[in-house]
Amino acid sequence: MDKIKYQMVIQWSEEDNCFLVGFPDFPGQRWRTHGDSYTEAVNNGIEALESLIIAYEATGEPLPQVCSAA
């Protein structure tokens, strides 16, 4: 999984009083996890992304294409 790279967006939410984490390359729910600190959000995001990839693989659904930055 180390070679698979997807964009992870972390944004502070005043409304939720935490950092929200999303993966724009994956369709569906805008925010996948959160954290009370930026570091916690990163760690939770990595865990959520790994789980998301495992779920895609388990169902045989193709992973979204990764857009490479120029």
Report whether pLDDT(68) > 60: no
* Residue carrying the six token digits 């930026």: 38
Q: What pLDDT was estimated at residue 2?
A: 56
Report whether pLDDT(5) > 90: no
Distances (CA, A) of 51 to 10, 16, 64, 68: 18, 23, 15, 22
Per residue in 10-59, pLDDT (tens digit) is 999 999 999 999 999 998 878 999 999 999 999 999 999 999 999 999 99
Q: What pLDDT was estimated at residue 27?
A: 84
Quote the pTM value. 0.82
Instruction: Name the residue ranges covered by the structural domains of the chain.
Output: 9-59
